[in-house]
A and B are shown apart, each in its own frame.
Chain A
Amino acid sequence: MKTSFNKDEIIKVLHSMLATPKYNDDLFRKKNGLELHRNKKETSK
């Protein structure tokens, strides 16, 4: 697709979206009453 980009506009939109906090597992678990992971290594098989 051929597009003409306005870099300032792209940066503005991206910044406003990316400026929101990233998922934080400890915060999420605390907020939802889940136990915090003592060991960050995940149990899987």
Chain B
Amino acid sequence: MQPLPIIKNRFLCRELVEDDLYHLSTFAMKKKHLNARAGGVLEFLRTIDCKGTVISQALVENLDKNSKTYIVIDQLASKNDLCAYFTLKPGLVPFRTEGKSFNTISGVELVNFAVNANYRGAMKKKIGAMTFSDFVIPLVKEVQTIVGATFLYLYALPIPKLIQTYKNKYFFQQLKRRQENFVHSHVRPHYDDDCKFMYLCI
């Protein structure tokens, strides 16, 4: 099994824990992303109430084991060392077989994936790709080894540029409309309204 934390060069990836709460307030997203309905991605990681208390749904889900959120830390950064975060969750992709019957294909859902806009350290522009290649994929492959998983999949916000990035740079695929509608009508969570189902064979 892949031991945690995973360390690649100066970057470390580990599960989000309670001691990280104070750390999360340094995590930010670009305004243009927040305007584009990506605020939920930030809110999942942390919200700050009127008293300044940090609340993290990601941490709650880690403790409940409903999903697992990981943070990526630049060990050499003097401040704002939190580079990125992502959340993984096991899931199923249904597909129609005959009549109203369906079968399922197993996968891992990349529920959330974001880089910290406040991070100024090494590889700033490539931190997303590095996180994906060095940490997301190895963890998903580990899951695949233990319980089987054919795909890594996500529900991308319906932002053309974002979908193109997932397609062209991350090599995610989209289903044919009929199949996508079927997936949406069976398993798409309501918080992913209008989002596009995308998958990557692993």
A interface list, Cβ under 8 A from B: 3-6, 9-10, 13-14, 16-18, 20-25, 27-29, 31-34, 42-45
Contact = CB atoms under 8 A, between A and B. Distances in A.
A43 B8 contact: yes
Contacts of A9: 96-98
Given A22-B202, A42-B138, A3 B101 contact: yes
Contacts, number: 88
B3 interface: yes
Nearest to A24: B171
Given A13-B95, A32-B133, A45 B201 contact: no
Contact of A17 (B6, B7, B9, B105): B105
B103 A28 contact: no
B103 A18 contact: no
**Interface on chain B toward A: helix, strand, loop, or mixed SS?**
mixed
Nearest to A14: B105
Nearest to B150: A18
Interface string B76-110: 00000000000000000001111101110100000
Size range of the chain B interface in the assembly: 35 or more
Interface in B1-53: 2-3, 5-9
Contacts of A44: 2-3, 5-7
B173 interface: yes
B126 interface: yes
B201 A22 contact: yes
A42 to B, nearest CB: 7
A3 B83 CA distance: 46
B117 interface: no
B177 to A, nearest CB: 13
Given A20-B173, A23-B137, A43-B8, A5 B199 contact: no
A17 B93 CA distance: 11
Contacts of B170: 28
Contact of B201 (A6, A23, A32, A42): A23
A33 B202 CA distance: 21
Contacts of A6: 97-98
A3 to B, nearest CB: 4
Interface in B169-202: 169-171, 173, 175-176, 179, 199-202
